[in-house]
A and B are shown apart, each in its own frame.
Chain A
Amino acid sequence: MTESLPLALSLLYQLGATASFLFLAAVGLIIILGMMNIINLAHGELMMMGAYVATITHHAGLPFPIAVIVSFFFVAAFGAVLELVIVRRFYGRELGALVVTWGISLVLGQGALLFFGPFMPSIKIPGGSFSYGVFSYSVYWLILMLACALLVLALWIVYSRTTYGLQAKATMQNAEMAKSLGVPTSRIYTLTFSFGAGLAGLSGALLAPTATIAPFMGQQFVAPAFITVVVGGATNVIGGAIGSSVLLAAVKTPIGMALGAFSGSVALLVAALFIIRIMPNGISAQLQKYLDRRAQGGWR
């Protein structure tokens, strides 16, 4: 009986860690796939780039938090160039964008292998650990959970409190109309893609200490990222991503703890399958529907 409180706390911590992992893997893709509807298969490589920039600048002497911010701006700048040179030719052609971003991912992965070799020494995980009962906790994962909360807040402010956010939402809903109302849609596209890429770089940098710094490290994030974004749905991409990462983690954690990592992974996939089957437009659409119904139900 004395064991049950530490176990409950450990499960809560695991849930938080798994949800943050899913959310961080997905955060750049939320913008690029969720808002812009570009199936960005180079998402993992953008995260890889963020991890490399953070690792290189950190080894060069920058403190880790600054290295993370540098990665955001570096990958955002790279994203802007990518949008201007290649991606903008593929708006409205989803399959074309899929193939071209896949090509970009191959070039980036192999390029990293050629320039930096198969491995790079990792960053030591910041923060120590503490234990309660038989379980111990990594301080850095707690920091990551906090970072996710801050990211959510930042995204919410950007997309509901700034002119750019308003213009971006207008552009993504109806580019023609937005343009006729004087929104510089071309610049909005570049900015949005660049912002999404920067976020991928940022999350790659944040996850870098927990990962192996290798040219193809990005691929481990691609499947979780797509699952999280698709399960979340497009109605409210940020809310959807939070909902789906927490829900998927809530399925994966207890099953993984009871039966092992393999069962945990299977449970996550099965849960994703069920959610997409029951809610074809994702969690956010369901949430929106619920809120609308409540509003109509005369609460006000």
Chain B
Amino acid sequence: MSESKDKKKTDIEDSADTANAQDRASSLGPKIKRRTFIQSSGAAAVALAAPMVVPGLKVARAAGDPVKIGHIEDLSGNLAVYGVQKYHAAQLAVKEINEGKTLKGGPVGSGGLGSMAKFAVAPPVMGAGDKDLKYVNDGGALTGAGMAFVEDDDVLVDSGESGLLGREVELIGPDGQSNNNIWQQLTRRLIQEDKVDCLVAGFTSAEREAIRPIVDQHKQLYIYTNQYEGGVADSNTFCTGAIVEQQVIPVVDYMIQKFGPRVYTIAADYNFGQLTAAWTKAFAPLVGGEIIEEEFVPLSVSDFTTSIARVQAAKPDWVFTLLVGSNQSNYYPQAAAAGLEYPMASTVNMAQGYEHRRFKPPSLNRMYNCVNYIEEIPTARNRAFVKRWYEMFPNDPYIGQMAQNTYFSIHLYALAARLAGTTDQEVVKKALESGLSIEAPEGAVFLEPSTHHCSHYIRLATADANHNVSFVREWPSIQPWWLQRVGVNLVKHKEYKQYIPGEDPFFKMFAK
């Protein structure tokens, strides 16, 4: 039993929705119109036969008609290591929604409740547990006192229904094959043929930028769950990963204080690496740092002998590595074998590609990374999440940052759709812009309405010579502030572009 686009409309629709429906109708060819007509007449016939379907009222679709979540990630190719994790995260979230579970949250704004508490001198150290989290030490006796955040034991609660709005949730998750052309084909297929209610997709910024024009052409609700270089201001896109303000700036600040101002950046040569490096360069002067050398490495390069010698010739205080993909991971064992012993910082390694588990110690010794999630986070809610994950996927090697983002993003979509009372995409977008926060395994995440980006619980994680992980600093809520600074307000003005730091005179002001 199917209904036309118009039949799906609810009583809270507004003029924007009607305009949207018209746009869609006009952008599709005559064939599609005919199909819509046939579907409409079919639906009308059903309406006559079954009197409980009354057009114009808020009607739940039949249980047999699932809510479709489209999900594209790379299940094969150079980026499969991240894509498989993210796909499993989507499967876990969809399974939980269908089993009547939801993550706590709602339109209550950002932040959690704080209270006075005692804490240990040092943070706990986490070792490589086998499918379990293992404390190496708990940081010592409770000696200090101060503000602490209330920690729920588990954040997964009953949703009061199985599925979403009385319908089953179906995950359609094709393989992007680490190939941008295939990403575009799959996006068209998911939007035009499968007519997904929500698209959750994208690892690299190149993949995101390849499909975003298609998403905008069809006004598809799209959630990009990766951490990335920031700056996307797009009315149809919601970016739930951490961005430079949340990751690069805290870690650069810390590294400069701890190790010194001379920074060598070695980055993947595509939009993510280039823009993140540009951000680092723009921001470093504000905290007294200086980028002495930048090197951009093509994604296909896997022999780093020359790059390693260049780092040694430049003699930096520390190295900022923004290397992506399995080829570029080779840098770490090769650098360790060549005796390169500079402290390193990154926004992508460890938390995504679990290099600290894959490579023999001490390849990742003194690696610092500001993450919004890493499997080793020692909180009760995360331990519960890790346990649930490995119950479903006992053979998985690791749960990365992006996997967690995909997981809570799908729950966030369900939360918004329940608030909206419909899966109509324009209405759900408005619900997502209502100041929603969600209790993710990392901590509380707040979806900032005007820029479609999330505040995150950021932790500065570091690996020691045995690749044990500890957290040297924590920021319970860092806001994505830069798009607000440049005046983006997607609630008031629709936009479809990506801003880059060069557009903001703020940074030029501090450059030497």
Contacts and interface: CB of A to CB of B under 8 A. Distances in A.
Given A125-B333, A130-B339, A214-B80, A253 B327 contact: no
B76 A211 contact: no
Contacts of A219: 78
Nearest to B313: A134
Given A125-B333, A215-B80, A216-B78, A264 B306 contact: yes
A22 to B, nearest CB: 9
Given A122-B333, A220-B300, A264-B306, A113 B80 contact: yes
Contacts of B329: 212
Interface residues of A, number: 52
A212 B337 contact: no
Interface stretch (A34-42, A135-143, A156-164, A275-283): A135-143
Nearest to B341: A136
B298 A257 contact: no
B302 interface: yes
Given A129-B337, A136-B338, A215-B80, A261 B297 contact: yes
A213 to B, nearest CB: 8
Interface string B69-91: 00000011110110010000000
B312 A137 contact: no
Best-surrounded residue of B81, B306, B339 (most CB of chain A within 10 A): B306
Nearest to A135: B312
B142 to A, nearest CB: 37
Interface string B303-319: 11111011011010000
Contact of A216 (B326, B333, B340): B326
Given A212-B358, A220-B327, A113 B309 contact: no
A257 B327 CA distance: 20
A236 interface: no
A129 B296 contact: no
A210 B358 contact: no
Interface in B322-351: 326-327, 329-330, 333-334, 336-340
A96 interface: no
A97 B474 CA distance: 57
A217 interface: yes
A211 B41 CA distance: 60
Interface residues of B, number: 44
A201 B347 CA distance: 35
A110 interface: yes
A185 interface: no
Contacts of A211: 302, 330
A256 interface: yes
B309 A122 contact: no
A231 B463 CA distance: 44
A18 interface: yes
B310 A122 contact: no
B346 to A, nearest CB: 16
Contacts of B327: 212, 217, 220
Contact of A14 (B301, B309, B357, B397): B309
B339 A138 contact: yes
A92 interface: no
B326 A212 contact: yes
Contacts of A261: 295-298, 301, 304, 306-307
Interface of A: 7, 10-11, 13-14, 17-18, 21, 109-110, 113, 117-119, 121-125, 127-131, 134-141, 209-212, 214-217, 219-220, 223, 252-253, 256-257, 260-262, 264-265
26 contacts: A10-B309, A13-B305, A14-B305, A18-B303, A117-B395, A118-B80, A119-B81, A122-B359, A124-B333, A129-B337, A134-B312, A137-B338, A141-B305, A209-B333, A210-B330, A216-B80, A217-B326, A217-B327, A252-B306, A256-B306, A257-B310, A261-B298, A261-B301, A261-B304, A261-B306, A262-B295
